[in-house]
Amino acid sequence: MDSTIDIEAILRARLGRRERFVPAFVYSWLRKLIHQDFINCYLSQNRQGVDFCQGVIDYLGVTVDVEGLENLPSHGSGYYTFVCNHPLGAIDGVTLGAVLGRHYDGEIKYLVNDFLMNLPGLAPFFIPVNKIGNQSKNLPEMVEQLFTGKNHVIMFPAGLCSRRTNGVVSDLPWHKTFVVKSRKHQRDVIPLHFIGENSNRFYRVANFCKTFHLPNFAMALLPDEMYKSRGKHYVVRIGKPIPWQQFDKTKSSVEWAQFVRDEAYKL
């Protein structure tokens, strides 16, 4: 299987017969926007799994400080749910794959947008979700499969990258799924805080789309945001495990999700 990205082929597969209405200049613009050649130069190395994640960090010249490694339970002590804010949309996920994948010998899984399955080096970590197709109807079953499997679960409970509101960059409210499933399958939850921000352009586009009820076009900017992260420094902070028994009836699952969100941001 070809391990490189071809945006024209991807859209052809997604759009079907409608693809013929896309002008050639749009493909040229998209190839530049996502830095297709830059990405393919790395993908040609055919790395996989944890090695792929660490390789992306090295390829971009990104440096990361990880604080709180002592809070990670030892490998073989059970399976956990790791939840994190989602400030960047690319490097944050890759970094967690490198850090947690290395600690837990690659036994990690993410629930992700199926567009990311075009990165075969990360495919072993992914449970893909087509949010605009029929597969979305099977989402509850796929989430259940994720939590019953023999892997640690990594989730970004906001579902979208952080947004800037009144000058402050933070996640949208976290969804309750990780609370419900962690309690059901008796997985302790470990909060993480990834410190970083995207460009001003990203937040302007995201807020514009929200204001005018447009599709999330900001997502198309994420490869460019990743490219702009070259040489930057980030910090990941790992909190102490929260026992699944703590998610009792004193709060609703939604309230518990926001409680964990607050705990992550305190790190």
* CATH architecture of the domain formed by 47-266: 3-Layer(aba) Sandwich (3.40)
Which pLDDT value is given to residue 138? 75
Give the pLDDT confidence score for residue 3 in this predicted structure.
Answer: 65
Look at residue 41 in the predicted model and tell me its pLDDT. Answer: 93
Instruction: Give the 3-state secondary structure of residue 73.
Output: coil
- pLDDT in the model for residue 137: 64
Q: Give dist(CA 196, CA 265) in Å, integer.
A: 12
Q: In this predicted structure, what is the pLDDT of residue 20?
A: 80
Task: State residue 1's pLDDT score.
Answer: 45
Burial class (CB in 10 A: 0-12, 13-18, 19+), 60: buried
CA distance 217 to 220: 6
Containing 264, the helix (H) or strand (E) segment is helix 253-266
Spatial contact of 161 and 174, defined as CB atoms under 8 Å apart: no
In this prediction the pTM is 0.91
What is the mean pLDDT of each successive set of 10 residues along the chain, which is 267 residues long?
76 81 87 93 90 95 97 95 96 95 95 69 78 62 91 94 94 97 98 97 95 90 94 98 98 98 98
- The pLDDT tens digits of the residues spanning 182-193 come to 999 999 999 999
